Amino acid sequence: MRISELITKEDLLTDKDDRFKHMVDRISDKAGKELSQPRSKIVCKPVRRTDNTRKRKGRFLEGLERQISQQDVDQLDRFADKVFARVGIDVKFTRNFLQRVNDDRNGKQITMSELTKLFKQEANKHGKPIARLGPDTEAVLSDMQTDINAPFVLQYDRENDELDLVVKTIIRNPDFETSDQVFAVERKLSKSEKESATNMAKKK
């Protein structure tokens, strides 16, 4: 009788099970050793923002100027009243002003800084001439530097005995045309223009 014939089928299965069990034990021991070892710490270094990063962020935010709210208009109303008070004018804004100030047709969002600059310069330069126009007169406030134009009408307030400057609408348009009188705020001279004007004054 051959030796192979002495090994039964059950012996083969038992032997195979023992080898499999031994293999599982070896894997478990190896995994246990790896888990028991201390893991290396992951150090997170802070990301430093470079000047280029700040510049890119700044350019991105330039195109995200927030829209003017009713609260902004109320604040602008108080500011405009203050700068025009010395000539006896009270400034008011229509509902259409709020809608038009945020209109996409302006090309670029009109900002609060541009609006306060417009009314401050208009009051300083044209406050008295505007007050002399009298009631029911229509005209335009115009900033030649920002291309902002604000048509208005003067109305007499009998209750408060003062002249109301009612801003009907506003638009940013370099080619704005009107048959009404325009009170323009002169644009600021560029650096080259200032140098040219200085040189001409020296020659004289």
Answer whether residue 141 is part of any domain: yes
Q: Are residues 171 and 101 part of one domain?
A: yes
Beta carbons within 8 Å of 122's beta carbon, 6+ residues apart: 130, 141, 183, 185
In a domain, 195, yes or no: no
* Residue 18 domain flag: yes
Pairwise CA distance, residues 200 & 195, whole Å: 9
Per-residue pLDDT tens for 54-93?
A: 555 444 444 457 899 999 999 999 999 999 999 999 999 9
Say how many Å lie between the first and final Cα of the chain, rounded: 134
Residue 194 lies in a domain: no
Whether 102 and 163 share a structural domain: yes
Domain count for the chain, please give it.
Answer: 2
Residue 50 lies in a domain: no
Q: Tens of pLDDT along 20-53?
A: 555 556 655 655 555 455 555 555 555 565 555 4
Shared-domain flag, residues 152 and 74: yes
Instruction: Provide the residue range defining the domain that includes 11.
Output: 3-31
3-state SS record for 77-126: HHHHHHHHHHHCEEEEECHHHHHHHCCHHHCCCCCHHHHHHHHHHHHHHH
d(CA 204, CA 196) in angstroms, rounded, equals 13
Check whether residue 14 and residue 74 sit in a common domain.
Answer: no
Q: What is the pLDDT of residues 175-186, one digit of tens each?
A: 999 999 999 997
Give the global pTM.
0.61
Give yes or no: residues 9 and 82 share one domain: no
Question: Do 80 and 19 fall into the same domain?
Answer: no
The answer to whether residue 38 is domain-embedded is: no
Other CB atoms within 10 Å distance of the CB of residue 113: 10
107 belongs to a structural domain:
yes
| 15 shares a domain with 74 | no
Quick one: 11 and 88 in the same domain?
no
User: Does residue 72 fall inside a structural domain?
Assistant: yes
pLDDT, one tens digit per residue, over 99-144 is 999 999 999 999 999 999 999 999 999 999 999 998 999 999 999 9
